[in-house]
Amino acid sequence: MAVLTMAKAINTGLAVAMREDPKVLVMGEDVGRLGGVFRVTDGLQAEFGEERVIDTPLAESGIIGTAVGLAMRGYAPVCEIQFDGFIFPAFDQITTQVARLHLRSDGALCMRVVIRVPSGGGIGAVEHHSESPEAYFAHTPGLRIVTPSNPVDAFTMIRQAVAHPDPVLFLEPKRRYWEKAEVDVTAALPPSIDLFRARVVRRGSDATLLCWGPMVRTCLEAAQADTRDLEVVDARSLAPLDLATIVESVARTGRLVVVHEAPVTGGLGAEIAAAVTEACFYQLEAPVLRVGGFSVPYPPARLEDIYLPDLDRVLEAVDRAMAY
């Protein structure tokens, strides 16, 4: 066991994947000599060389376009988008090429591409550095989207993502990069299906809090602070959603509050609310409620504490759910 931050857990997982498979490459802005803005790729170029850890130009569309060509030739590129708000210049490549080429080629081409994205707010950054763009991509068939919430999951999930034959968008909650946990760095790789399974991280009976990424810790703190018996479920995978685990939880508790950083309007919480209402219509004791960012552009750093869901906003939603 080793005590690792989430950033170091991802770094360690990438190193393991690169040692196991010489086809795995890391590429992105400043990922080599600098080791990435958050030092997630620190030391990888020194171990694997400049041909496998590649500093690219500042051109996200070029990074992903190059990754498409590499994947077509049998390589497994792991691309870093330096900040979440920088992913949009590559939107066309991701949604019309990465997501579609496997189907378009009738299975002849495998898009084994991982796109790592530091995601979400909470670090006092400037504009375009604190976005939560998961809903844009969850609407795109052909993409897998996962997000770890702790160092243990980060180490395992990045290895699973790299090994998976489908393209994976790997969202990393940047404000959790420096949180630490004990990680078994010698653990065998679990089956790939585990990558797309939700996890009940706190058992409860009164209501379910469904969350992912940076909001898992927030919801755990809310559950621990409240006198009611709240269950917390970490979705982990956003595309596909593990509805079976979510439905099983809600069928027991009778109430669901979905918590995410992205704006509520058009967010994944709406899709989850619809799906759970269909599946649990007779078990629900209250409407499915959503807590998320407000429908405004991400605010300046001094206002982000007002924008981001916190313990009080989560528990206020629980109060409303329990009042029915």
Tell me which residues are annotated as active site.
Answer: 129
**CA separation (Å) from 164 to 10, 23, 110, 252, 294?**
16, 13, 10, 33, 35
DSSP 3-state helix, strand, coil percentages of the chain (rounded to 5)? 40, 20, 40
Give Cα 269 distance to the centre of its chain.
15
Lookup: tokens for 168: 């994976």
3 DSSP β-pair partners: 182
Residue 136 CA to residue 266 CA, distance in Å, equals 9
Residue 136 CA to residue 13 CA, distance in Å, equals 27
Lookup: tokens for 131: 């976005």
Residue 244 burial class via C-beta count within 10 angstroms: exposed 0-12, middle 13-18, buried 19 and up: exposed
Residue 275 CA to residue 243 CA, distance in Å, equals 8
Lookup: tokens for 134: 């998961």
